C-alpha cells in the first residue's frame, strides 16, 4: 500500500547535491511528484521539499539513505495525510537522528578534538628537533644528513596535502582525519625502534603524511564545526595548534634527553600516551557531510585568477616565515656549539621552543589587528631577527641567540597567522579545502627545500658561512615580497 508523504531536507549549496538526491529516489524506485527549493537563513544552505508516494518499506529505506548522503544536513518527514504510517514515519526519522547524535560528539567537543589532533601531530613531528645532536653522536650523522632527516617529510607532506584537501571536500573530513592520526602513530613507532638513519627517514616520511593530512583538512573541518563560521578565528586556532605543537615537542625531548632514562625513546612514549586516545575519539567526530554516490575525483591544485594576487602574497609570506624558523628547528639545535659556547639538549630545545612560543604569543596578542598589519609586523620582526643572528655568529653569545630566536619567532607568528587567515578569508567555500591545501604545499616547500640546501651548504662553507648566506637570501626575499604587497595592497587587502 502506498501513501502520500513529503520530505524536507536542509542541504549545503554544493554542486551535485540535487543529482545525488534524485539518483537515490530513482534507486529506490520512488517517483518525485513535486519539488520545491528555498534559500535557508543559514549561509550557503538550501531547503528542499519533495512530495511523492511510495510503499512504507520504500520510504523507510529512502530516509536512511538520505541521512547518509553527502551535503544533506537534516532530513525531516512531514505528513500530507495524517495516518498511522505517517506517525511511524515521523518516529522513525526522530529515532535515526537520535541514534546518530548518540554515536557522535557534540560540535563543540569535535571542534576542539580536531584542534587537539593538529597540535599532537605537530608535537610528535617536532620531538626529534632536540635529539638531532644525540642521533649525530650515536650514528655518526653529518649536518647534511641531519637536515635531510628534518626536511624529508616534505616529500610526503606535499602530496598528502594536495590529496587530503580534495578528498575531504568529497568524502568528508572524518574519513581523512582518522588515517592522518594513524600515520602519526606509525611515525612515532618508527622512531622508537630506530637503530640508524634509514628508520629515522622512514619515520619522518610517515610523520609527513600525517602533517600533510591534518594541515590539509583541519582548517576546513574547524570552519564547518564553528557555529559562526568565523574564518579568522579558525585560522588563528589552527596557527596556534601548529605553533604550540612545534614548540612543546622540542622542550619535552630536550628535557627528557638530558635528565631521563632512554633519552632517544622516552619522548615518543609520551606522545603515544596522548595521541592514542585522540585517535579513538576521532571515530565519533561530529560531521554533517557524509559520502554520497558521486565517485571521488582528484584534480590538480587550482587557484582562481580573481584571488591569485592575495594567494601569492599569503603563500610566499608563509614560505619565507617557515624557511627562516626551520633553520632554528634543524641546523641550529644540532650545531649549537657553532653559535655559542654551550652544549646542552635542554638549551637546544629551549632555543627552538622560545622562538615558537614567541610566535604563539604574538599570534594571540595581535589577533585583533588587520591582516595587512599582521603581515607587516611579521616581516619587521623577521628582518631584525635575521640581522641579530649574523651578529650572534661572530659573538658566540647565547643571550643574543635567544633574543634572535624570540624576534624570528615573533615574526613567524603574525606572518603565518595573517597569511593563513588571508587564504581562509578569500577562498570560496566550495573549493576552500583545495585552496588551503595549495597554500600549505608552498608553505612546506619553504620548510624543506631551503633547509636541505642550508645543511649541505654548511658542509662546504661551514655553519657560519652557510647561515650568513642563508640570511642574505631570506632578506632579499622579504624585500621582494614586501614590495609586491605594497604595490598591490589595494587589490589584495579589500577589507
**Structural domain spans, the chain:** 2-102, 107-492
The Cα–Cα gap between 92 and 366 comes to: 50
The Cα–Cα gap between 46 and 228 comes to: 17
What φ, ψ does residue 343 adopt, rounded to 5°? -130, 110
Judged on CB neighbours under 10 Å (0-12, 13-18, 19+), 222 is buried
Dig out the grid coordinates for 413 from the structure.
607568528
pLDDT at 347: 82
Q: Which residue has the cell 582562481?
A: 304
Are 379 and 416 spatial neighbours (Cβ–Cβ below 8 Å)? no
pLDDT at 472: 93
The Cα–Cα gap between 345 and 266 comes to: 14
Dig out the grid coordinates for 109 from the structure.
567537543
Rg (CA), the chain: 26
pLDDT at 83: 53
The torsion of the CA quartet 329, 437, 154, 241, rounded to 10 degrees, works out to 30
Q: Output the pTM of the full model.
A: 0.66
Are 127 and 203 spatial neighbours (Cβ–Cβ below 8 Å)? no
Q: Which residue has the cell 567555500?
A: 429
The Cα–Cα gap between 108 and 168 comes to: 20
Whose CA is closest to 45, among 17, 8, 12? 12
Chosen CATH of 107-492 out of 3.40.50.10310, 1.10.10.10, 1.20.1260.10, 1.20.1250.20: 1.20.1250.20
Containing 79, the helix (H) or strand (E) segment is strand 72-79
Distances from the Cα of 64 to the Cαs of 73, 76, 93, 104, in angstroms?
A: 13, 11, 8, 17
The Cα–Cα gap between 18 and 296 comes to: 17
Containing 356, the helix (H) or strand (E) segment is helix 345-365
The number of beta carbons lying within 10 Å of the beta carbon of residue 29 is 10
Chosen CATH of 2-102 out of 3.30.413.10, 3.40.50.300, 3.30.70.260, 3.40.640.10: 3.30.70.260
The Cα–Cα gap between 450 and 413 comes to: 19
pLDDT at 292: 46
pLDDT by position in tens, the chain (length 495): 567 778 888 888 887 788 888 888 887 778 888 888 888 777 778 888 888 877 777 777 788 778 777 778 888 766 555 455 555 555 555 555 554 555 678 888 999 999 999 999 999 998 998 888 888 888 888 877 888 888 888 788 888 887 887 777 677 788 899 999 999 999 999 999 999 899 999 999 999 999 989 877 888 888 888 877 777 788 788 888 988 888 888 889 988 988 888 999 999 999 999 999 999 999 988 875 544 445 566 667 778 888 888 899 999 999 999 999 888 777 777 777 777 777 777 887 788 788 888 988 888 888 888 888 999 999 999 999 999 988 988 888 888 988 999 999 999 999 998 998 888 888 877 677 678 778 888 988 888 888 888 888 888 888 888 888 999 999 999 999 999 988 887 777 765
pLDDT at 125: 92
Amino acid at each position: 500500500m502506498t501513501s502520500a508523504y513529503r520530505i524536507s531536507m536542509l542541504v549545503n549549496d554544493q554542486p551535485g547535491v540535487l543529482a545525488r538526491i534524485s539518483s537515490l529516489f530513482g534507486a529506490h524506485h520512488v517517483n518525485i511528484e513535486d519539488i520545491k527549493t528555498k534559500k535557508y537563513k543559514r549561509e550557503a544552505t538550501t531547503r528542499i521539499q519533495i512530495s511523492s508516494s511510495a510503499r512504507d518499506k520504500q520510504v523507510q529505506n529512502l530516509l536512511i539513505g538520505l541521512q547518509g548522503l553527502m551535503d544533506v544536513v537534516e532530513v525531516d518527514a512531514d505528513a500530507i495525510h495524517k495516518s498511522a504510517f505517517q506517525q511511524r514515519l515521523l518516529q522513525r526519522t526522530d529515532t535515526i537522528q537520535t541514534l546518530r547524535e548518540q554515536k557522535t560528539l557534540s560540535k563543540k567537543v569535535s571542534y576542539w578534538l580536531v584542534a587537539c589532533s593538529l597540535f599532537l601531530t605537530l608535537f610528535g613531528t617536532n620531538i626529534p628537533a632536540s635529539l638531532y645532536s644525540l642521533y649525530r653522536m650515536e650514528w655518526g650523522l653529518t649536518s647534511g644528513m641531519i637536515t635531510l632527516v628534518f626536511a624529508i617529510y616534505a616529500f610526503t607532506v606535499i602530496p598528502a596535502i594536495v590529496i587530503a584537501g580534495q578528498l575531504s571536500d568529497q568524502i568528508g573530513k572524518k574519513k581523512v582525519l582518522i588515517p592522518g592520526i594513524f600515520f602519526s602513530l606509525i611515525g612515532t613507532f618508527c622512531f622508537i625502534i630506530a637503530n640508524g638513519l634509514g628508520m629515522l627517514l622512514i619515520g619522518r616520511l610517515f610523520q609527513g603524511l600525517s602533517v600533510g593530512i591534518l594541515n590539509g583538512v583541519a582548517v576546513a573541518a574547524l570552519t564547518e564545526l564553528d557555529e559562526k563560521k568565523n574564518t579568522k578565528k579558525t585560522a588563528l586556532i589552527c596557527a596556534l595548534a601548529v605553533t604550540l605543537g612545534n614548540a612543546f615537542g622540542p622542550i619535552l625531548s630536550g628535557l627528557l634527553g638530558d635528565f631521563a632514562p632512554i633519552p632517544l625513546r622516552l619522548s615518543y612514549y609520551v606522545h603515544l600516551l596522548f595521541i592514542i586516545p585522540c585517535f579513538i575519539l576521532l571515530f565519533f567526530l561530529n560531521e554533517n557531510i557524509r559520502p554520497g554516490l558521486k565517485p571521488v575525483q582528484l584534480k590538480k591544485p587550482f587557484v582562481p585568477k580573481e584571488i591569485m594576487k592575495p594567494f601569492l602574497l599569503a603563500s610566499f609570506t608563509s614560505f619565507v616565515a617557515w624557511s627562516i624558523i626551520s633553520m632554528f628547528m634543524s641546523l641550529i639545535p644540532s650545531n649549537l656549539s657553532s653559535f655559542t659556547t654551550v652544549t646542552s639538549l635542554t638549551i637546544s630545545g629551549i632555543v627552538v621552543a622560545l622562538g615558537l612560543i614567541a610566535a604563539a604569543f604574538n599570534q594571540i596578542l595581535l589577533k585583533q589587528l588587520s591582516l595587512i598589519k599582521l603581515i607587516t609586523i611579521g616581516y619587521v620582526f623577521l628582518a631584525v631577527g635575521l640581522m641579530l643572528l649574523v651578529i650572534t655568529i661572530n659573538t658566540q653569545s647565547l643571550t643574543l641567540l635567544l633574543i634572535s630566536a624570540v624576534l624570528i619567532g615573533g615574526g613567524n607568528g603574525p606572518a603565518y597567522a595573517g597569511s593563513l587567515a588571508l587564504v581562509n578569508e578569500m577562498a570560496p567555500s566550495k573549493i576552500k579545502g583545495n585552496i588551503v591545501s595549495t597554500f600549505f604545499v608552498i608553505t612546506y616547500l619553504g620548510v624543506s627545500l631551503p633547509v636541505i640546501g642550508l645543511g649541505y651548504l654548511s658542509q662546504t662553507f661551514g655553519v657560519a658561512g652557510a647561515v650568513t648566506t642563508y640570511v642574505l637570501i631570506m632578506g632579499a626575499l622579504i624585500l621582494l615580497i614586501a614590495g609586491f604587497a605594497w604595490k598591490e595592497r589595494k587589490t589584495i587587502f579589500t577589507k
